[in-house]
Amino acid sequence: MINRPGPDGDPMTEEMALLGHDIQSAIADILAGLSLIDDQGLTLKDRQQLYRTRAASKGLARLFEDGMTTLLTQAPAQPRPKPVVLAKLIESVARRWTYDDDSRVAVVINIQPDLPGTVICDRAAVERILSNLISNAVTHSGGQPVTVEISHPSPTQLLFTVRDHGPGFPETLTQSRPTNSESALPLWQSAAGHGLGLRIVQSLAQRIRARIALRNPACGGGLAEFHLPVTVLADQPIGTAARPTPLEGERVLIAEDSTSQAMFLEQILAQCGALVTVAQDGQAAMAMLNTDTFDLVLLDQELPGKSGLQICAELVKRPHRPRIAILTAHRSDAFSTRAKTAGADLVLAKPITSADDLIAAMRMGAMAPVQSGAFLHLLDIAGPVAAAELVAQFHADLADVQDKLAKALPAFDWKALRAASHTLIALAGTAGASDLEAKARDFNHAANASDRAQIEIQKTDIIQGVTDLLSFIDFIQQQHRASS
């Protein structure tokens, strides 16, 4: 998330933040427009070009976010782990790099069986690493095909293997340092790298604690292995029937003044099984909310007539209100805090590039169950050994809370529920899971009052919140193991 400076910040930084907002709005319109183009009447070549342009535009949106974050904070962008539908990630890579055009090098993607359906990873970093490895392979392939193989060698790892039939990597890039040296990484990773593409791969792999290995097989060519630590969220392998989405059958109101973005959102929500109504200004949205019932409302912050936050402030006063998501290009912690204070359940950063992005946000809360920057900073301060112990203990404590809740809820064991929720308040606060912390406090109050009705109302959110937080901690644990 881009942290925008406060009112007393540097004027140039403030100007860049405002410029970034306008550029992100323009990118959102471009993505929406590209997604709305009907490809049925296009030739195969034109359809492939449209797919490549869509994939590249989504990549541009992610690159711009990282670039603005680095520029405004004067620090590299932090990892943004979130649920990623693996089939969609593979489809994005395939559409950008596979062609039926004889004038281009063929890139063939082979998918091994039993890949997981959904994993937690930093999608933007993964796509950038793959793009640079594939681009490097295509450049050196001598016109021969490049093969990308995707496998799942262990429960906590994906392996992407990129192979070309060129002259292979220089020998210095395939050597490892002696075990008594300062770094056990290959020379190309710990030195300046070989070419800009591999330097980018080096930097991103270190950021997400992945491992890159380069070698030259005896049969010729060059082979790059990208070992990615992941947490598997879905036990449903690629190719099996899709599960219902969190929006299946829900009535959704979209309040968005950009026609193209409204049409795009309507399209992806319909793909999720939602029943969609669209309003193009704040007054129209309020009129619909006064005469109809919705499960979810997506409110653009900059609506004419009434802003998203103004509508949100009116909705939260109602005894039975819908879930509220604010759409914004103001990518800042300060705005998210304002929106949550006004009563928003989610803050969705534009551009939303796909139905999967929206589903991930719905599953994980406002872009993640944890404001992960503070938690990761705490681990960095602790150092690698203490951080590993801290994460392991945190995981054990959280799993214990999950177990105690599962046992205490059916019998309404008030003492156990009070103890479990009290511990959860502390754990969620430490992890930066502010939404879960607030819900745990409410749950604890209900347990102290022996209020069965409130416990029944709140238990689903508490159980899901603990599950999501455990998934995040699993991911952090695996990253630390991969880097040790």
Q: What is the CATH number of the domain that holds 405?
A: 1.20.120
* 300 assigned to some structural domain: no
* 379 assigned to some structural domain: yes
Q: What is the pLDDT of residue 96?
A: 78
* 419 assigned to some structural domain: yes
CB atoms within 10 A of CB 203: 15
Beta strand 118-121 with 82-85 is: antiparallel
Among 286-295, 312-321, 411-420, where is mean pLDDT lowest? Answer: 312-321
Q: Which among 85-89, 101-105, 307-311, 432-436 has the top mean pLDDT?
A: 307-311
Percentage of residues of the chain with pLDDT beyond 70: 75
* 210 assigned to some structural domain: no
Q: CA distances (Å), 267 to each of 32, 264, 302, in order?
A: 10, 5, 21
Angle at 365 between CA 362 and CA 368, to 5 degrees: 115
How many domains does one find in the chain?
A: 1
Residue in the block written with tokens 């060519």: 221
List the structure tokens of 69: 């974050």
pLDDT class for 99, splitting at 50, 70, 90? low
- Dist. CA 100–CA 82, nearest whole Å: 33
* 262 assigned to some structural domain: no
* 209 assigned to some structural domain: no
Q: Which structural domain range is residue 402 located in?
A: 372-483
Which residues touch 162 (CB under 8 Å, ≥6 apart)?
A: 130, 133, 134, 137, 146, 147, 148, 223, 224, 226
Percentage of residues of the chain with pLDDT beyond 90: 18
Q: What is the DSSP letter of 432?
A: T
Q: What is the pLDDT of residue 372?
A: 47
Residues 349-400 pLDDT 10s = 777 767 766 766 665 553 344 444 456 656 666 666 777 777 888 888 999 9
- CA-nearest of 318, 57, 316 to 326 is 316
- Dist. CA 312–CA 344, nearest whole Å: 7
Angle at 337 between CA 335 and CA 343, to 5 degrees: 105
List the structure tokens of 470: 């455990």
For 261-345, where are the E strands, in sequence order?
275-279, 296-300, 323-328
**Exposed / middle / buried, residue 291 (Cβ in 10 Å: 0-12, 13-18, 19+):** exposed
CB atoms within 10 A of CB 158: 23
* 13 assigned to some structural domain: no
- Dist. CA 361–CA 17, nearest whole Å: 23
Among 81-95, 190-204, 424-438, where is mean pLDDT lowest? Answer: 190-204
Beta strand 275-279 with 251-255 is: parallel
* 58 assigned to some structural domain: no
Stretch 88-115: mean pLDDT: 77
